[in-house]
Chains A and B, each alone.
Chain A
Amino acid sequence: MNSTTRNSIIYVIFILAVSLAGYYINNFYYLQVLTFIGINTLLALGLNMLMGYAGQISLGHAAFYGIGAYGTAILTVHCHLSPWLALPGAIIAAMLVAYIVGIPTLKLSGYYLGMGTLGFGMIVNIIFREWSSMTGGASGFIGIPPLELGPVSFSSAKNYFYLVWGFVLISIIICRRIVDSRVGRALRAIHDSEKTSAAIGVDTSKLKLQVFVLSAGFSALAGFLYAHLILFISPGTFSFITSIRMVTMVVIGGMASIWGALLGASLLTLLPEWLHAFSEFEMVVYGLILMTVMIFLPKGLTKGILDIIERMVKKHDQ
């Protein structure tokens, strides 16, 4: 079975799973959580391209998520554009910012890159908070219109669920195609050694910038979907903590794995929901889980669990 047919089979299974979930689940809360998993998967997918494949840390990606959300809010409310026109507007805005910021920032590496992106994320967040005439300031932006397409209204939880997961499917296909291409191989080469890949003719700074811009675009798409789902946004949603949560999704799911991004996003969306049972101990347990997973499975759950199974099989054979 070659990889093209295998990919098609996986996509069919994915579409079936999403349609079945949409068909059988009628509970509003469950649909909402599943929609959030979809939005977070978009965030994790984009960041995974940058972190997992190209090996560049970003601790400020919530900024692009926020630019997507605020971009569509400003374009639809202040400029009275249709949300479907605001979508490319918001994505292009985020990609443009990523391009401008990426040129000096991506020259850094390791911790220094992490810190540069962190600083950028904080500044964007402060802009959301302080530029009250445009963004509504700390109290948030209200009155974002719900999405509708001709006769179909996306104000019902079920329709929105299909919409978000439709975007997730398209994004997964795009990421897969990139990863399996010549560009994808070049990205992985940068991950392993930037110097070596430059020596064999990869234009590393151009490629890093391109993947940074691409991941910003995915985050902005997620921001767009978030804004039109909740219809209210405030700076707190796009803070440093969100950037860290995005990184955690990628790392816990497993770097350089597209399905790992889906797993990480699902776990980190569900975990707080499960932890509500712990009420005030919620943060303590959350912190402990993060530390424990990273100490024992530093390569993430997908790889970590596969390794454990492999070891058990080997033991069994002996």
Chain B
Amino acid sequence: MSPKAQLGGIYPRSEQLIDLTRSYDRAKIDLDTVKKQIELETLELVTLQDDSGFETFSDGAFAWQDQLRPVVESLEGVTTGTRYDRWFDTNTFYKKPTIAGKIGVHTFEPKNFVRTDLLARTKGWKVTLPGPYTFSELSENLHYANQSDLLSAVAVAEHDIIKRLKDAGVSRFQLSEPCLVYRPYREQELSKAELDNALTALRKTVDGIPAKFSVQTYFGDATTILPDLLKLPVDTIGIDLFETDYSKLKIETTKKLALGIIDGRESNAENPTWIAETATRISKHIVGGDVVLVPNSDLKFVPRKVADVKARALAEATRLFEER
């Protein structure tokens, strides 16, 4: 095995950027000043990934207000009112999408999703999007007859967005599906029919697009659905090691398993040696496939300085892993 490391999702804003966004919010500075700092921080993150040997470039999504917003703002039939809901069990919030009409892509600006203008061509570009199941589960449906119809419509719309992002140069997509494994807010376990619907939607989302895809689960234990996820037509499946009991796993696959091995919700800087040892231990449960080392979720839940340390530790661990 020769594991690589990847970042994905929203990376935390620096204290300087935070100060600027606050000043902008209070109408003390203009938006251009904020945008300039975002560009600077995007370039810094690219440098960090380049220097540390990450497999892909993620732009950090510094301008994203939450994990759903750019998708929401690209779709017709979807609005956000004033309702903020909690992002799972974190102390962060997202604007809840309201499905008020037939969903379709109405305005698409690649720059709202990824800063292709700031990413070098020396590595593939990675963009993280909410998976169709998670997006539909976190929305309020006022239009479609049932969740299944909504899910299908979201998959079609995301397929369209991904195709356009692929045309803009993005080569890898992470579809985040925490709702598949984080279940406390639901009265029932994920039923077979519901899982099948989610998997169908994921297939529809990636269908025919010549790009690499990972489906990343987090904030919950993926053990029970992992065999089904591994049948998806994507090259990588991700699990959150801080939630998933991997001790009884035995996985035969040709796919890559993305191990969420640094904890985006704790400030402890994982030791690269510990990461490499843990990844080695887990890799013994996998026959045939390879592993990728990733954070268990977006790193936006820790301050920027902490995230930088964690990111470097992740990259360092891949080197230690290879030496073992």
Q: Do A and B bind each other?
A: no
Partner-A contacts on B (CB < 8 A): none
